[in-house]
Amino acid sequence: MLVLYHIIRDKTNQIFVSSASFWEMAIKKSLWRLTLPHNLIETIAAENFEILPIVPADCLGVADLPLLHSDPFDRLLVIQTKLNDLAMITQDSRIAEYPIVTIAT
């Protein structure tokens, strides 16, 4: 987690948060599996994180991914990472099987 802290705190790094992540958090909150701070959006804005929107190319691109992972949100994050030439910070070792750059936490 120390590496993650330094990545986020290094202001030369541009950090993106996908709209898909907000969607997944909202679903988990509605199922009582996640508690969210009331000021989550403000906190993300204060940290100068960029919101990565979901665009049609992302949705359609999921169909071209190999079926290495069944979670639709993770698959959407993978294709967004690939199409936007980003690196993904993740705890999920299965995501590293995709042809994208990952940073393990």
Cα–Cα distance between 90 and 56 in angstroms, integer?
24
What averages of pLDDT result for each successive group of 10 residues across the chain (105 residues)? Answer: 84 96 95 93 92 98 95 97 97 94 90
Closest C-alpha among 19, 22, 49, 50 to residue 36? 22
Look up the pTM and report it.
0.91
Structure tokens belonging to residue 22: 């907000």
Judge: domain 15-104, CATH 3.40.50.1010.
yes
Cα–Cα distance between 78 and 87 in angstroms, integer?
9
Which residues are CB-neighbours of 15 under 8 A, at least 6 positions away? Answer: 7, 8, 47, 48, 49, 50
Burial 44-66, CB ≥16 within 10 A → b, else e: beeeeeeebeeeeebeebeeebe
Render pLDDT for 30-51 as a digit per residue (tens, 0 to 9).
Answer: 999 999 999 999 999 999 999 9
pLDDT at 44: 92
pLDDT at 73: 97
